[in-house]
Structure 1
Amino acid sequence: MSVVTLDTSQAIPGSRRTSKHSVSRALGDTGMEVKNVEQMTGASELGTFSHTFLSPELKHLRKEYYTIITRVTGLTVLIMWACLPVYWGALATSTDMTRNLDAWFIDRDGSRIGNALWDVFGNFSAPGAHLGWTNVDPVNIGTNDDVAQAIVAEKAWIAVVVQANATSNLDMARANGDITYDPTSAITVYYVQGRNEIAAANAIVPITTNLLQQTTSAFATYAAQRYLAQIRPGGTINTTAYSLLANAPQTLTPAVSWTMVNLRPYTAPVATAVTLVGQIFITIFAFMTAMANATARSLVQQHLRLSSYLKLRIVIPLVIYFPLSLSYALVNLAFNLPFGARYNYASGFCLFWVYVYLAMASLGLALESMITLLTPRFVPFFLFTLIVFNVSPAVLPNELQNPFYSYGYGFPVWNLSQAVRTIIFNTHSHLGVNASVLVGWIILSCGTISAFTWFFRRQEKAAVCNQLDVSKS
């Protein structure tokens, strides 16, 4: 069998032969080593298309096949147990941690309705999920517009406001038979669905509405009994009061209700594709680029100076991410993602493109860095780890997760998700922080790519020099 060699006059000036180690490193980026080449050459001696899998002639190949499959299976199981509990854990404790969601109760009424509601809101201890209710002084919080702005600014997740004179308005409507009385004017609820639609749908809104339903129903029953007793003193029926009550039956039931004000509605169902799942796609596209770049650069890497090789590894992916991120943004444009929620439509689209590009670069260069250590054969395992650890903190608000998931504040997917919500739903802006985190990841990956490449290039040069010394001796 012939020995595979390279003409090092092309690889490193002044050298005549290269070692098997450097050949392995050169071919390693494409997933092929010298051993594989020798096996391919030897395979022809066994004949082609002439054996079954259990043929005795294939015993040594079968053994290596089983070894590879066993190792991959074991490594996959290990990755499963290392990563899947992270994602499962991100969801497992959400119902037990709803008290971490700040909620405001603001009583502008200061009378029977406000007092009755806070007695329940502030002391509710029934089994099930609860929000973290705080009784906020209406003087300190300001007007209802101020309350709305505070909720948008993420000071709390929801606010229940009992409006001024709610009790006296109800009493006057009953006494006068006011047919224009609106029970929903007594209470106003402010929340921001676009901040996190899952938390809003599964915890914030249902917990609050369930509590309001219980408290208002109980108050309506009590208030009706109280009023009916007043208009029947000593068993004598006050026909005038009954007539007025018949004119305005809504003052008896439901008597008190509420209005939901969704300050930042989740108006585009297609947004689900970009706030979380689409970011997995971005990571996969970046992975494809890293794998293609690893294959392509193996053709020239042995001929390049270190500085030129580093530019090839860093600059080329950054250039490729431009058309990829633009294409991703255009797909969302075709499905009418609401880019004009905060800025004008064109500016919103361009800003969205910029953040997608930064996220793709931060994730892609991380893969480009690790492919140096793991080689293309093992980098898919890192891809899975990267996806799981990025997605897990972004699924739910940090308040509904174990404090461990606070690491998400410094990861690309969490920051891209928050930036996208700001652009398409006009939620509270953290765009500066989001961009800083993404750029920080890009800079870190550029540094690790440079360090890892320098280290392995140094090893390759040392191997070639050692081989030259052996050949001279």
Structure 2
Amino acid sequence: MAPPLIRRLYPRAHENRLPLDHPELKAIRPKFFKATLLNLCLYILLFFCLFCYLYGSLFQQGPRTHNLHILFVDYDGGIIGDAVRNAYSSLQSHEFPSLIPRPVSQFPTQADLREAVCHSHYWAALFTSPGASTRLGLAIAGLDATQYNGSDVLLFIWNEAKYSAIMDSLVSSSLHTLSDTAQASYIALNGTSAFSTIPSTNNAAAISAFTNPWTLTSINIKPTTQGTRTVYNTITIVLVLIEDFFYLATINGLYASFKVYTRISPLRIVVVRDAISITFTMLGSLLNSAAIWAFKANWHVSGGQYAITWLTLWLFAHTNFLAFDVFTIWLPPQYVSMALVTWVVVNVSSIILPFSLVSPFYRWGYALPAHAAYELLTDNWSHGCNPHLSYALPVLFTYEVVGLVLTGIGVYKRCHYAVILEETTKEAMRLRVEAVLKLEREHDILAQREKSETSSGRVSPGGPSRATTTSADMLDQLDQASREQRRQVETGLQQLDTEIERMGTRASRASNSMGPAFCLIGSRDE
């Protein structure tokens, strides 16, 4: 039993409840539990597959670290380069980035190395400075030791804006480990002969050069150290998708509340609906970009980069708005929620890690809008040092064009079914009203006939006894006629219920084509 307070708040909640052994409940009970079990299995299986997909994209990231290729060019051509190669030989494994040596002739200058990193041919470029071994030897020997610059010996070029967390943990960290190991290798290769050259007096600078031959120098194309960088390729994308879905459901609710699909021409609806979605995604992306800039800390980005970030997020948001709308128009209603959550998971999984660190299976994510948008953002933030526009822009524009076409056709579909829904609802109401009026007319006719026959029986000539007998016979006949007409009315009502149920099914199908909808404040057509 419900508490008294709840019973007072909702006094009619227990009205017209059927007992558990009622035939109607017995008929629907197996269907209900069968449908419940089917949906339970489908959703559990779906989310199990999505979890496996997500975890699979992160699985064995470490053993795939060797797929991160780092260019190595030895401009020095001396013992320091040998030390680096020896150090890499001791560190080389599946869990360490691959060092790819290339001749100086292929990359004559430091600018060529930067260009190779900018074009994403390599994740970083490690190189020795020309004459570094000679300068180090002279410093250890005490010749010009005070002028020796240990930061101009071993250097690397990288772009921290590209998957910042991965660049820090796997690229920069690994190269520092390689540098430290190379120092130990240098001492092992040249320690005895170099130590003997250290002068006996005024040797502080020489000993310092011997014990700490160099410091690895970072040439970071785009320093990206702010804390918010960790969510640019995760939560930021998820929130954009959620924002699009909820506003789409709101728009659907407003269109249904104001009966737009039955009042305005489809072409006008297409234009206005696209204008609303473009405006919403434009303003949402503008504020999203503003939030990124507000918490960028010491991240040096310009106003022009802000504008391009806004445009990229705008294009990404609108393509997803259209994608969600396509799902709600063309997929069966029972599969829409499954499609939406799947779309969110596969898009986010395509940008959590670079494809170099995941199974080749996941590279189909090149065709997803989230990956294309993140490639555009990275290119923008690093001043063009991720030039994948040749496929990223076509991917987004393909989604945009296809989405506009399919949602435009979908408006005509919704208008068609909205008319069907309205006609069906009116027809069902008309049939119910006619049935009630017919029942009332039959009741009135029977009441008048009974009254008339009873009155004529009282005045029948033949004495009281004959009058009573005649009246009783008439009442029996009247009762039989009444029962017959009631049976006819009941049969008609049963047929009416069947017809209304069929019309309800038709109306339900029409209503489902409208997509998910939320009814919010101000959504009533008053």
Bin of the TM-score, shorter chain as denominator length: 0.7 to 0.9
Corresponding residue for 1:14? Answer: none
Question: Does 2:281 align with 1:324?
Answer: no
Report the 3-state secondary structure (helix = DSSP H, G, I; strand = E; otherwise coil) of the residue aligned with 1:103. strand
Equivalent residue, structure 2, for 1:379? 336
Task: Show the 5 A alignment for 1:96-175.
Answer: 96-121=63-88, 123-124=89-90, 127=93, 129-175=95-141
Q: Is the 8 A contact 1:174 1:244 kept in 2?
A: no
Letter in 1 for 2:183: T
Question: What SS does structure 2 have at the residue aligned with 1:176?
Answer: coil
Offset of residue 141 of structure 1: 0.7
Q: Is the 8 A contact 1:358 1:435 kept in 2?
A: no
Give the letter aligned to residue 261 of structure 2: Q
Identity %: 17
Quick one: which of 186, 189, 195 aligns to 1:219?
A: 186
Q: Which amino acid aligns with 2:320?
A: L
Equivalent-residue separation in structure 2 for 1:331 and 1:57 (angstroms): 60
| 1:54 Cα offset (Å) | 11
**One-letter code aligned to 1:400:** L
Q: How much does 1:83 deviate?
A: 2.0
Q: Which runs of 5+ in 2 are unaligned?
A: 1-9, 429-498, 501-526
Counterpart residue number, 2:50? 83
1:321-347 CA distances to partner (integer Å, 9 max, x unpaired)? 233333333333433578963xx41x3
Could you tell me the TM-score, scaled by structure 2's length? 0.68
Residues in 2 aligned to 1:358 and 1:175: alpha-carbon distance in whole angstroms: 62
Distance 1:461 1:312 in 2: 20
Check conservation: 1:339, 1:348, Cα contact below 8 A: no
- Conserved 8 A contact 1:220-1:254: no
Residue in 2 aligned with 1:362? 319
Which of 240, 247, 250 in structure 2 is aligned with 1:289? 247
- 1:50 and 2:50 matched: no
Match of 1:268 among 211, 226, 233: 226
2:367 aligned with 1:407, yes or no? no
Instruction: Give the 3 Å change call, closer, same or farther, for CA 334–118 of structure 1 in structure 2.
Output: closer
Q: Is the 8 A contact 1:198 1:396 kept in 2?
A: no
Q: Which residue is 2:151 aligned to?
A: 184
Mapped contact 2:158–2:221 kept (Cα < 8 A): yes
| C-alpha distance after superposition, 1:187-224 (max 9, x if no partner) | 11211111121221221122222222112112124422
Aligned counterparts of 1:257 and 1:303: Cα–Cα separation in 2: 74
| Residue aligned with 2:96, SS | coil
SS of alignment partner, residue 140 of structure 1: coil
| Number of the residue aligned with 1:16 | none
Cα gap change, 1:314/1:263 in structure 2, threshold over 3 Å: closer, same or farther? closer
- Picking from 260, 266, 277, the partner of 1:300 is 260
Alpha-carbon distance, 1:84 to partner:
2.1
What's the counterpart of residue 176 of structure 2?
209
Number of equivalent positions: 410
AA of the residue aligned to 2:179? L
- Give distance in 2, aligned partners of 1:409 and 1:384: 19
5 Å-filtered alignment, 1:19-38, equals none
CA contact (8 A) 2:117 2:125 kept: yes
State the SS of the aligned residue for 1:110: coil
Task: Decide which of 199, 202, 210 is 1:252's aligned counterpart.
Answer: 210
The residue identity in structure 2 corresponding to 1:190 is: I
TM-score w.r.t. length of structure 1: 0.75
The whole-number CA distance in structure 2 between the counterparts of 1:389 and 1:431 is 21
The correspondence for 1:418, drawn from 375, 378, 381, is: 375
C-alpha distance in 2 between matches for 1:316 and 1:174: 71
Specify the code of the residue in structure 1 equivalent to 2:57: A
Cα–Cα, structure 1 residues 218 and 85, in superposed 2: closer, same or farther, change >3 Å?
Answer: same
Alpha-carbon separation, structure 2, partners of 1:337 and 1:415: 26
* Alpha-carbon distance, 1:366 to partner: 0.5
> Aligned AA for 1:274?
Y
- Structure 1 residues 376 and 319: alpha-carbon distance in aligned structure 2, compared to 1, 3 A threshold: farther
User: Aligned pair 1:434/2:392, yes or no?
Assistant: yes
Select between 60-69 and 82-91 the one with higher mean Cα deviation.
60-69
Tell me, in whole angstroms, the C-alpha distance in 1 between the residues paired with 2:146 and 2:156. 24
Larger Rg: 2
The SS at the match of 2:211 is coil
Q: Structure 2: how far apart are the matches of 1:375 and 1:287?
A: 17
Does 2:313 align with 1:353? no
Q: State the distance in 2 between where 1:156 and 1:296 align.
A: 51
- CA drift at 1:127: 4.8
Q: How does 1:447-462 map to 2 (within 5 A)?
A: 447-452=405-410
Question: Could you give the per-residue CA deviations for residues 147-172 of structure 1, whole angstroms, max 9, x where no partner exists?
Answer: 22332332311111111122211221
> Unaligned 5+ residue runs, structure 1?
1-45, 232-239
- Cα separation, partners in 2 of 1:369 and 1:149, compared to 1, 3 Å: same
Instruction: Give the Å deviation of 1:369.
Output: 0.8
Structure 1 CA distance for aligned equivalents of residues 230 and 381 of structure 2: 11
More contact order relative to length (CA 8 Å, sep ≥ 6): 1
**Structure 1 residues 64 and 50, CA gap change in structure 2 (3 angstroms):** farther
Q: 1:432 to 1:354 in 2, by over 3 A?
A: farther
CA distance in 2 between counterparts of 1:57 and 1:332 reads 61
Q: Quick one: distance in 1 between partners of 2:279 and 2:194?
A: 75
